A and B are shown apart, each in its own frame.
Chain A
Amino acid sequence: MYTSIKKYIPSIIIIILSSIFVSNLFIGEDQNAIGLVFPKIISISLLICGVLLALRTYAADRVQSRAKDESTSAVSQEKIYAPLLFVLVGYVLMMNVIGFFIATLLFLYACCRVFNAKVLHSIIFSVVATGIIYVLFIQILFVPFPDGIWIFKNFSNLIMY
């Protein structure tokens, strides 16, 4: 049942999104604006394509309803996505708090561990890579990365300037 519904997720998302786009474009102040004509046509086309995709999924589902097309590898693939996503989102969100330098160091280490690198290799890699990035982007290209808050700001200032 879940597998069957899962197949419809892309078409459902497209139909919902295109409906939001259509309503946003058609319910507004300046309905006669020339600039809106093309986006209106395009968003209606997306809605139609979403419906066609749902119908096609239904037709394909009917033809091979008994076939088991979910492999075990798909489940194991998802195992790596979740920690990778968690680490990446954490990196981006923490950058403003702990500063670019520390966040990058921790991210590279955590990311290597997600990809099953050995602890020592991960430490060496993250330190060396952060060092190279620091020289390249901070010392040579002068990119003003976030330096964090509280004690992290002091630390960032110490190493950056």
Chain B
Amino acid sequence: MLSNLLIGLKTTFSLIPMIVILAGSLIGLIFGAIPGLGPTVAATLLISFTYTMDPMLSILLIASVYVSATFGGSQTAILYNIPGSAENTCTAIDGYKLTKQGKASEALGTAIYASAIGGILSCVALIFFTPYLSKISYLFGSFEYFAFGLFGLAAVISLQNSTLKGIISAIVGILIGCVGLSAIDGSKILTFNLSGLYGGFNFIPVMLGTYAVAEVFHQAHENLKHKRIEEVKRKIKTPSIKIVAKIKGVVLRSSIVGILIGILPAVGAVLANYIGYTIEEKVQSRSKNKKIGEGDIRGVAAPEAANNAAAVATFIPMLALGIPGGAVTAILIGVFEIHGLKPGPMLFVNNSELVYTLFVGLLFVNILIISLGYFEIKAIKKLLLVPKGYIFPIMLVFAVIGSFVVGNNMTDVYIMLVFGLIGFFMKKNGFSIPILVLGIVLSGILESNFARMVLSDYTAKDYFTSYIGLTFIVLSLIFLLIPIYNGLKKLYKKH
């Protein structure tokens, strides 16, 4: 492992990868800070650049965009109560109250260092845990892979306001992913005898349509009017010894929470920000000097450490098992496929240099966050005032370009447009686009492993003695049934 890490270190710290990481971090920071854009939109739009790039550079670019965008929205959340992206929602609660109390500098400094430490700790877990997980991936047979994929979907569905709409989003995604000839026996799945559909839908135009185009249509009206940006003192203060003593346990705890959430398939950094904050709230509720929710530095440190730790940890299931840890890693799987690579255990055997360069690159981006934070604070007001009327047209042109370059033909552009409208319709009616996309990504794993389970001579006893698979199935059922039970209970009370 050490020799691989040294190779990764050497590759990362050469000129071109450094430029790519720096550019990706800056782009991520900007997308993270502008409300409504965030890491997923940034990663989706950058796909068009990755076709002609070296695979390693493409992956480094998207990875650095993801990590810095996850952090990018924290400063707008603290200073103006406008979380740049969903990953920073809970940071605004205590962060903005601290600004109101005249402690913005301390909050900004804490956010930067907590994010960096959370990310770095997660990188350590990534470096040591991922190769180990890929080595024990032999314990994962068809049933275990199927159950793990199902568990990922169930976990994100359970977080939706409407479980039913979450399930529908997942099913629609799975069906879109299934279109084409079956990988198992070549049977035609929803091709309607159109030869153009035999290869299935290309993932990239579908992603660009459902994320970028649908997002533009969704935000077209509401985000054109700017919030009034009040003038606040924008200065970053490195956390004092007193603050460090106060938050060191919080950062460690939240980083562990973030790592565990990131490892779960499909869940990602948004939930980590929320859970990191909630856990801290619960922990502090027992102490006498409970201030979380009223402007407490721990309320900034916890969600920021958790979201960055989760952002890095989402790479663990993707690299070790080929199952995305969140929406951006789902996009990254698409980038891997563009370059003919398949994430999973074999990646460590065939492309170990790429994997370890990614590890070192992620570590570097998290260290870079500290200096990026100082840069962002200077540009923050301008970023918030960038007119959406200029950003949206560019987003649409990039979506068209990104779809066109998939096969250098207009068919993929038309597909992108259709999926843009589908995505917009779904979004407008309360369905979830991230779940739809995860459904598409996980459809291959679910469909092929289900078919293998049917083909194999597994007996009921085999299923019941597979503890890994059974655990995930039981957890999936719990995740899906609890919201349904709560919904029915609410309905019963109403009547």
Contact = CB atoms under 8 A, between A and B. Distances in A.
Contacts of B491: 59
Contacts of B454: 34, 37
26 contacts: A10-B425, A10-B429, A13-B425, A21-B190, A34-B451, A35-B183, A35-B184, A36-B182, A38-B447, A43-B175, A49-B168, A53-B165, A77-B222, A84-B217, A84-B220, A85-B217, A91-B400, A92-B417, A107-B396, A115-B392, A116-B389, A117-B387, A117-B389, A133-B397, A142-B52, A143-B404
A33 B394 CA distance: 46
Interface of B: 48-49, 51-52, 164-165, 167-168, 171-172, 174-175, 178, 182-190, 192, 213, 216-217, 220-222, 224, 387-390, 392-394, 396-397, 400-401, 404-405, 408, 410, 413-414, 417, 420-421, 425, 429, 431, 446-447, 450-451, 454-455, 491, 494
Given A30-B187, A95-B410, A112 B221 contact: no
Contacts of B171: 42, 45-46, 49
B413 A37 contact: no
Contacts of B393: 107-108, 111-112, 115, 125-126, 129
Nearest to A53: B164
Nearest to B171: A46
A36 B224 contact: no
A50 B451 CA distance: 25
Contact of B185 (A9, A14, A35, A111): A35
Contacts of B388: 115
Interface in A52-111: 52-53, 56, 59, 63, 73, 76-77, 80-81, 84-85, 88-89, 91-92, 95-96, 104, 107-108, 111
Interface residues of A, number: 59
A27 B164 CA distance: 28
A115 B220 CA distance: 8
Residue from A108, A111, A117 with most neighbouring chain B CB atoms (10 Å): A111
Contacts of B52: 141-142
A33 B420 CA distance: 33
A25 B190 contact: yes
Contacts of A126: 393
Contacts of A30: 187
A42 B174 contact: yes
Contacts of A143: 401, 404-405, 408
B450 A111 contact: no
A34 B396 contact: no
B168 A46 contact: yes
Given A21-B190, A125-B390, A143-B404, A92 B413 contact: yes
B27 to A, nearest CB: 13
Contacts of B396: 88, 91, 107, 111
A21 B174 CA distance: 13
A112 B48 CA distance: 22
Contacts of B389: 112, 115-117
Contacts of A146: 410
Contacts of B183: 35
A116 B388 CA distance: 10
Contacts of A125: 390, 393
Nearest to A44: B171
Given A10-B425, A28-B188, 4 more contacts: A35-B183, A39-B190, A49-B168, A107-B397
Given A39-B447, A116-B389, A104 B164 contact: no
Given A111-B396, A117-B387, A53 B189 contact: no
Nearest to B403: A92
B417 A88 contact: yes
Contacts of A112: 389-390, 393
A9 B430 CA distance: 13
Nearest to A45: B171
A75 to B, nearest CB: 11
Nearest to B439: A42
Nearest to B168: A49
Contacts of B49: 141
A37 B450 contact: yes
B3 to A, nearest CB: 35
B392 A36 contact: no
